[in-house]
Structure 1
Amino acid sequence: MDRRIALSVLALVTVMLALAVVPLAWLLGAREQTSFRADAEASGRTVASVAEEHLNDHKSDAPMLALLDRTQAEGDCAAVYDSTAAVIARTSCGTATESGVRSLAVAALRDARTHLRESGGVLTVATPIGETEDSVGVAVLTRSAAPLHNRIAAVWGWLALIGLVTLLAGAAVSVALARWVSRPLHAVDRAARQLGEGTLQVRAPVGDGPPEVRRLAATFNTMAARNETLVHGHRTVIADVSHQLRTPLTALRLRLDLLAGDVDQDAALELAGAQEEIARLSRLVGGLLAVARAESAVPAPVRVAVDAVVAERVTAWEPVAAERQVSLGCRCEPGVEAFLGPDDLEQVLDNLIANALDAAREGGRVRLDGGRAGDAVRLSVVDDGPGMSKAAQAAAFRRFGNPEARGSGLGLAIVHRLVTANGGTARLEDTPGGGLTVVLDLPSAPPGS
């Protein structure tokens, strides 16, 4: 963003300079040319006026010769022609009597008006002497255009220097403006990434940048404070509920165990049923607390070796699979890594493998596949059990949403929450040939990279 803002301002300054400096340079150059020609014409008329006194009034040629000497001293060349285009006086430099210049003098005599010509870096002015209707001669003055070109070059040079200085100043201002605007935005972005990674106490600075950015930072801080309060409150409630529910359930189970030893067979059967319900209730409470912990967790992602974790969990569950006579295997691409919260992948796999083993029939198969899929890591848990209907699949990630669940119905809700909290996705698909496939797409790079 810094570069875009700076380049935008710099482009605007460049366009404004081009629209201002280039026309100004052309205008000043044209004014220099007009002034140069007007001054040359004035000098030519002066020579013609002095020469007229000699040719028309038959006065001494001394003033005319003195003026020609001054003209040559000033760097110009001049010559005076009579009515027959013959040279009667000239400066020692021969430029004003060259053949091309003499033809311009003849044209001025013929037309009885001033002629100008610029060629080869020299401006020639032929001015008729006397009345325009009855010219008695022509005064020709040649002047080098080098001073004119030098002045025009100086004008362009100064304007280019001014434009360059202005451009550099505009670049400095654009960079300063870009930093002023973007630096606090970068700070808010860093704070947002840290908040997403689990640093709940992070806050963005609110004293820098434009008013809109300062308001954005203040709004972000308000949101972060509320999130921190909600998460801490949620965690406190979970801890309290965990203690308040598990303690009486454990005490109730112990009392039922004690009673079971002192009752007859019929009462013992009833107590056994009550103990099973208490065990089921304990599992339900544990599942609810696990979902609540997952929903309140804000994971700080770490690098996780997916292939190693998959192999470890498969090894841990193999005894259970062997007891149920289910084939459990994995096929994971080596070196695959994902960014997840610590121990989140283990908890996800435990829930998925437990569900798959529960669903698989005796002699069935459960397989875990893992590998890269574009910018993500794809992990699939495949079983060949009875599968799930489309309606059940649509509701499976909600707490108690699956009416076909054999257990508490919370395992897939925990999986979905843990995966999405880490920036991944989870979905259910039918296994070809029958069964259910859980597909997870996990982030292969840290958030914000």
Structure 2
Amino acid sequence: MTRRIAVSVLSLVVALLVLAVVPLGISITARENDSFREETAARARTVASAAEEHLSDNRSDADAREQIDAAAAHGDCAQVFDAHGALFLATPCHADALPQGALAQVLRTGTQQSAQNGNWLTMAVPVGDTVPPAGALLYSRSTDGLDDQLLAIWGWLGVCALGALGAGVLVAVRLARWVGRPLVELDEVAARLGEGRLDARATITQGPPEVRRLATTFNTMASRTENLMHGHRAVIADVSHQLRTPLTALRLRLDLLAADADADTAQELGGAQDEIARLSRLVDGLLAVARAENSVPRQSAVRLDTVVSDRIAAWEPVAEERGVRLAAQGPSGVSALLTNGDLEQVLDNLFANALEAVPAGGQIVVRTTPDPRQAEVRLSVVDNGPGMDEAARERAFLRFDTGRESGTGLGLAIVHRLVSANGGRAALEPTPGGGLTVHLWFLAAPASSRTERRDRRDRRERPGG
């Protein structure tokens, strides 16, 4: 953001300088050219007036020669012709800048003409006010001095523009840092909070008032979030302790009673033990959902093929016992941004559900499909079991919703919570030919993700790191 602010301000400064300096330079150049042309015309008229006294009034040509000498002293070239086109006065230099017929046209019509030939401006001026005139004057003046003057003017304009640009660079950089640094710090603090560091707070004392107010609001939100998270975790720990302990004690007492009971009583006690086991699974599932909802993930790059292979190996004995084949498909080396341990728990719940539904001889395939365009990775668990109808698929991620008498209806709910907590999404669709396909989308891990860079920075900041 700092760079964008600086570039935007500099672009505005450059645009203003271009709109101000270039038109000003063009205007000054045009004005100096006009002034040079007018001064040249004035000098030519002065020489022509002096020559008119000799050609028209038959006076001495002393004034005309004096003006010719003055023109030569200025470095100009002057040639005076009589009415017949004969040259009778001239400076040492002789410039031929006008077309051959220009002199004849001036002598015939008395019209002033001018032309630019290289670095010389030449004017043909009639001598006298009569038509045809008493003579003609060719007056040439070098534009070297004008060019040097214009170059100096453009140089000063360039120096002023560079000075203004330098001041604009200084102002843009300071403004960008003043605005951008607090936002960068706030972004880093927000990232640390998102990674699970609930004590992260912003200490911003500089920058715009709006950014400082935003930092104060963020700190208030972070404090409330920390209090809520600690409260939820305390409740989860208390519930876990208060529920599991009496259930374990009750199961032990039923085991003791079943050991000395007759067949009918033992059968009833066995049913009670099954219900206690189901209640234990339900409590464990509720606690897992609560942890998934209240956890703050700290994500890192996780190799999907490695985790999938490990979980397939762990569930392979159960699958072989039930006559179901487990397989994995997809490229190797694909990584996603996930909290360590979450993908294992997601796959365990999906495998458990699929193995309960897929009959002997069926298969469960895990497919990995990267999508570079969306910067995502899709993980699909495909089975060829009985599947679900559309209504069941719409309710599948809700708690306690199950289409079977057994189970708690929390497996897919846990999957959905864990995937959502990691910034992904989940969807169900029927498998072509029969069965259920669970699609999971996760953020793809870049080659050097921001999380990895923060991890390296944290290691450097640790003592002895």
Q: Name the TM-score class by shorter chain.
A: 0.7 to 0.9
Instruction: Tell me the equivalent position of 1:69.
Output: 69
1:392, 1:403 within 8 Å by CA — same for their partners in 2?
yes
1:310, 1:330 within 8 Å by CA — same for their partners in 2?
no
Counterpart secondary structure, 1:228 = helix
Q: Which residue, 242, 252, 255 being the options, matches 1:254? A: 252
Instruction: Tell me the equivalent position of 2:385.
Output: 385
Map residues 73-88 of structure 1 onto 2, 5 A cutoff.
Answer: 73-88=73-88
After the TM superposition, which of the residue ranges 18-27 and 207-216 deviates more from structure 2? 207-216
After the TM superposition, which of the residue ranges 102-111 and 282-291 deviates more from structure 2? 102-111
Map residues 299-448 of structure 1 onto 2, 5 A cutoff.
Answer: 299-323=297-321, 325-333=322-330, 334-361=332-359, 363-375=360-372, 376-404=376-404, 406-445=406-445
2:112, 2:125 within 8 Å by CA — same for their partners in 1?
yes
1:79, 1:87 within 8 Å by CA — same for their partners in 2?
yes
Counterpart secondary structure, 1:401 = coil
- After superposition, the Cα gap between the structure-2 partners of 1:51 and 1:298, relative to the gap in structure 1 and judged at 3 Å, is same
Could you say which structure has the larger radius of gyration? 1
2:324, 2:355 within 8 Å by CA — same for their partners in 1?
no
Instruction: Tell me the equivalent position of 1:201.
Output: 199
Using the TM superposition, give the Cα deviation of residue 342 of structure 1 relative to its aligned residue in structure 2, in angstroms. 1.5
Same amino acid, percent of matched pairs: 55
Counterpart secondary structure, 1:124 = strand
Provide the rounded CA distance (Å) in 1 between the counterparts of 2:236 and 2:62. Answer: 120
TM-score (norm 2): 0.82
Map residues 5-404 of structure 1 onto 2, 5 A cutoff.
Answer: 5-52=5-52, 54=54, 60-95=60-95, 107-112=105-110, 114-129=112-127, 132=130, 136-260=134-258, 267-323=265-321, 325-333=322-330, 334-361=332-359, 363-375=360-372, 376-404=376-404
2:83, 2:135 within 8 Å by CA — same for their partners in 1?
yes
Residue identity opposite 1:288 in structure 2? L
1:77, 1:93 within 8 Å by CA — same for their partners in 2?
yes
Using the TM superposition, give the Cα deviation of residue 204 of structure 1 relative to its aligned residue in structure 2, in angstroms. 4.0
Using the TM superposition, give the Cα deviation of residue 288 of structure 1 relative to its aligned residue in structure 2, in angstroms. 0.8
Residue identity opposite 1:356 in structure 2? A
- After superposition, the Cα gap between the structure-2 partners of 1:70 and 1:314, relative to the gap in structure 1 and judged at 3 Å, is closer
Residue identity opposite 2:365 in structure 1? L
- After superposition, the Cα gap between the structure-2 partners of 1:296 and 1:134, relative to the gap in structure 1 and judged at 3 Å, is closer
Unaligned stretches of 5+ residues in structure 2: 452-465
Provide the rounded CA distance (Å) in 2 between the counterparts of 1:388 and 1:106. Answer: 107
Counterpart secondary structure, 1:94 = coil
After the TM superposition, which of the residue ranges 295-304 and 250-259 deviates more from structure 2? 250-259
Counterpart secondary structure, 1:203 = coil
Provide the rounded CA distance (Å) in 2 between the counterparts of 1:263 and 1:110. Answer: 146
CA RMSD of the aligned region, Å?
3.4
2:97, 2:116 within 8 Å by CA — same for their partners in 1?
no
After the TM superposition, which of the residue ranges 16-25 and 260-269 deviates more from structure 2? 260-269
Once the two structures are superposed, residues 83-119 of structure 1 have per-residue CA deviations (whole angstroms, 9 ceiling, x without a partner) of 5444443323334xx6959965655554456544443
Query: How many residues in Structure 1 have an aligned counterpart in Structure 2?
Result: 445
Residue identity opposite 1:330 in structure 2? A
- After superposition, the Cα gap between the structure-2 partners of 1:101 and 1:89, relative to the gap in structure 1 and judged at 3 Å, is farther
Provide the rounded CA distance (Å) in 2 between the counterparts of 1:335 and 1:101. Answer: 82
Using the TM superposition, give the Cα deviation of residue 292 of structure 1 relative to its aligned residue in structure 2, in angstroms. 0.8
2:364, 2:384 within 8 Å by CA — same for their partners in 1?
no
Once the two structures are superposed, residues 262-319 of structure 1 have per-residue CA deviations (whole angstroms, 9 ceiling, x without a partner) of 6665555444433333222222111111111111112212333333333332333333
Provide the rounded CA distance (Å) in 1 between the counterparts of 2:149 and 2:60. Answer: 39
- After superposition, the Cα gap between the structure-2 partners of 1:67 and 1:102, relative to the gap in structure 1 and judged at 3 Å, is farther
Provide the rounded CA distance (Å) in 2 between the counterparts of 1:354 and 1:102. Answer: 106
1:85, 1:102 within 8 Å by CA — same for their partners in 2?
no
Instruction: Tell me the equivalent position of 2:456.
Output: none
1:112, 1:132 within 8 Å by CA — same for their partners in 2?
yes
Counterpart secondary structure, 1:370 = strand
- After superposition, the Cα gap between the structure-2 partners of 1:48 and 1:235, relative to the gap in structure 1 and judged at 3 Å, is same
2:205, 2:212 within 8 Å by CA — same for their partners in 1?
yes
Provide the rounded CA distance (Å) in 2 between the counterparts of 1:35 and 1:28. Answer: 10
Unaligned stretches of 5+ residues in structure 1: none
2:98, 2:115 within 8 Å by CA — same for their partners in 1?
no
1:10, 1:171 within 8 Å by CA — same for their partners in 2?
yes
2:108, 2:132 within 8 Å by CA — same for their partners in 1?
no
